[in-house]
A and B are shown apart, each in its own frame.
Chain A
Amino acid sequence: MEELGKKAMAGDMRAASRLIRNIEDNIPDTHKAIKHIFPHTGRAHVVGLTGAPGAGKSTITDELLMAIRKKNKTVGVLAVDPTSPFTGGALLGDRIRMLRHAEDPGVFIRSLATRGAMGGLSKAVGDGIHVLDVMGKDVIIVETVGVGQQEVDIINHAHTVIVVLVPGMGDDVQAIKAGLMEIADIFVINKADRDGAKKLYKETKNMIGMGKWTNGWEPPVLMIESVMEPHSFARSVAELNEKIEAHYQHLVDKNILADRAHRKVVTELNDALKAAILDPVLKKLMQDGEMEGMIAKLKTKETDPYSLAEAVALKYMKDI
């Protein structure tokens, strides 16, 4: 497993992909590889792209890749799509919009399924970012599922968060809970040739005006028109790339990079702790049949979930 980590660091694309796979599939000992690469992470600029389904995120990512490559930077993309809650399968349909880059060795696109995780991301994204980072990618783009108002997870992983809105899709700013609006570093109004674009733009600007934007970065609102006009689309997305770079520079200049890293690290630690502490306990409860017993008691209302959990905690954690 460590071998995989080493190979990924050397830029071996297949080792990196296999490592991400092992993370996704929860293969035991995968964390050995992560241990190996973790100290070398932190170089890449991580950009999160979020927005409702149909907002056009993948199409924008595809064009962003062109813009980034023109500046001779290398890119990794983690494109997340929802796992079907009924079948466990997934249609990973983002790659199909980024086919132009299939033969570019400077671009690595990896599709991931959420596998039941909430928050628009898959559990593997956090470590997946590390893998792409140590491969040497300058920029890592994470495209979330975009379930509407829940994709705030991205903020824990990205330096720059882009929120993509589309006129006429119920993206009225009032309808969007504060959460989504707060996490954005850049707003994009996509398909801006549609009716309602100007209204959406105004509302977004108003919302920004009303908010308290700490750290001196007022999120810009960019309008991007239809991809069916390829030349103007390319120009607008190139402008978006400029803003992305400007934001990163801003983080560097104001020394806020560390804040973003802080958020990520806290999340990772929490996740790792949960995995280390909770998973083995759950596993044991299931193996011993205790889990079933607890469930039965709850069904007959003999007891409540909290009492049961407290009892388990008491049993397994001596020092608390």
Chain B
Amino acid sequence: MSERRIRILLAKPGLDGHDRGAKVLARAFRDAGFEVIYTGCHQTPEQIVGAALQEDVDMVGLSCLSGAHTYLFPAVTKLLKEQEADDIVVVGGGIIPDFDMQAMYDAGLKAIFTPGATLDSICDWIRENIQPRE
């Protein structure tokens, strides 16, 4: 009896240390039945991608509130692509102004969760959009 579980990596790239949201999400994912690896703050894109590959996750969630997402988020998707792992879904959250969203989608992110998204809606989105990778 196969028991595929969704595995998620939650990370905060860059120097921003505001981790309230990421920690709340980690708990919510656990309560939603996902296996979540939270790698904390102060991660480089290389460290995040390295962890994602070792842990064979289905999704990487990036949180950034310092404004540095314009460099950091695309850096992660680029590295995943180079490793031929761009089937790992990347989503983002934090403080992402509207006018940056398109650039994020163009860089390969599948969703940006803006302030006000409920925990349940995020978990529902994951269930609907993330398939454990074959």
Contacts and interface: CB of A to CB of B under 8 A. Distances in A.
17 contacts: A13-B53, A14-B53, A17-B53, A21-B7, A21-B56, A24-B5, A25-B4, A26-B2, A87-B32, A91-B38, A92-B35, A92-B37, A95-B39, A95-B51, A99-B43, A102-B51, A103-B50
A249 interface: no
Contacts of A90: 30, 35-36
A296 interface: no
B38 A111 contact: no
B56 A95 contact: no
Most chain B CB atoms below 10 A, which of A26, A92, A113: A92
Interface in A6-26: 13-14, 17-18, 20-21, 24-26
Nearest to A286: B1
Contacts of A20: 56
Contact of B27 (A26, A91, A96): A91
Given A20-B56, A84-B31, 19 more contacts: A18-B56, A25-B4, A26-B1, A84-B30, A89-B5, A89-B29, A89-B34, A93-B38, A95-B37, A95-B51, A96-B37, A96-B38, A99-B40, A99-B47, A102-B47, A103-B50, A109-B54, A110-B55, A283-B1
Most chain A CB atoms below 10 A, which of B29, B43, B51, B56: B56
A89 B33 contact: yes
A303 to B, nearest CB: 27
Contacts of A95: 37, 39, 51, 55
B39 A99 contact: yes
The 3 nearest A-B residue pairs measured at CB: A102-B47, A17-B56, A89-B30
Contacts of B36: 89-92
Interface residues of B, number: 32
- Main DSSP-derived SS at the A contact region: mixed
Contacts of A89: 5, 29-36
Interface string A200-236: 0000000000000000000000000000000000000
Interface in B38-76: 38-40, 43-44, 46-47, 50-51, 53-56
Interface string A93-124: 10110010011000011110101000000000
B33 A87 contact: yes
Interface string A73-93: 000000000011001111111
B132 interface: yes
Nearest to B23: A91
A266 interface: no
Given A25-B5, A91-B26, A103-B46, A110 B40 contact: no
A2 to B, nearest CB: 16
Most chain B CB atoms below 10 A, which of A17, A27, A91, A103: A91
Interface of B: 1-5, 7, 26-27, 29-40, 43-44, 46-47, 50-51, 53-56, 85, 132
A289 interface: no
Given A87-B30, A89-B36, A90-B35, A110 B4 contact: no
Contacts, number: 95
Interface of A: 13-14, 17-18, 20-21, 24-28, 83-84, 87-93, 95-96, 99, 102-103, 108-111, 113, 115, 279, 283
A83 B35 CA distance: 8
A232 B2 CA distance: 47
A25 B51 contact: no
Contacts of B26: 91
Contacts of A83: 35
A27 B43 CA distance: 33
Contact of B2 (A13, A27, A92, A96): A27
B54 A17 contact: yes
A92 B10 CA distance: 11
B22 to A, nearest CB: 11
